Amino acid sequence: MRRLGVLFPTCLLLAASLAACGMLAADGKLAVVAVARDDDRITWAVSEDRVRFDIYSTSGIGRATVHMVADPYPAQIVLRFHLRGLEELRFVYQTTVISVAVASIGERAVHQQVALGEGEAQTIAPDSPYWMKTTLGMDQPPSSNPGSSIDGYVDVELPSNFLQGEETTFSIAWIDFFR
């Protein structure tokens, strides 16, 4: 993780050069979204105070970079993963790395860690400004969207620390534990 601060700008350029890009436009707000794999797809839904990015990943493993141009940010930004589960999500902005893992069995507990700068990852709780509220929407009717052959989803809200800051770019990397 210590190299992430150095690797992030490189990964951002690589993702942008490898990716399919899309524009989000609603109420004068724009974001550029770049996915690293051709079989990954991100769509979006916008309301007055919320943006939801829907992430479809055929392989269950992927990366994307999002550059928000909206000013100010909506009150809530949600990443909806149309996956069978979420073994790991890495949310990176500036030198902050937040890891989210949802257990595949039992009560499907959510575990999160944050690493700031070159520091070691620390476990966080829901009262942390880095916490990413995670909601499981399993056992929902199957999606009619291409690239989604599963029932349900995992919603992950971006943390208050990101939303209240001045950073406009973040990257995500995800792994579905049912590949």
User: What pTM did the predictor assign?
Assistant: 0.77
pLDDT in tens, the chain (179 residues): 433 444 444 344 333 333 344 444 444 545 788 888 888 998 888 887 888 999 999 899 999 999 887 666 778 999 999 987 899 999 999 999 999 998 877 677 899 999 999 999 999 999 999 999 999 886 544 444 444 445 679 999 999 999 988 888 999 999 987 65
Residue 101's pLDDT is 94
Instruction: Using DSSP bridges, classify how beta strands 154-157 and 61-68 pair: parallel, antiparallel or unpaired.
Output: unpaired
**CB-CB contact of 159 with 98 (8 Å):** yes
What the block records as the tokens of 70 is 């909206």
Q: How far apart are the first and last CA of the chain?
A: 25
Residue 71 CA to residue 35 CA, distance in Å, equals: 23
∠ CA 14-59-156, rounded to 5°: 80
What pLDDT does residue 12 have? Answer: 41
Per the CB < 8 A criterion, the answer to whether 69 and 109 are in contact is no
- The reported pLDDT for the residue numbered 139 is 53
pLDDT of residue 30: 52
Which residue, 110, 52, 106, 109, is CA-closest to 81? Answer: 52
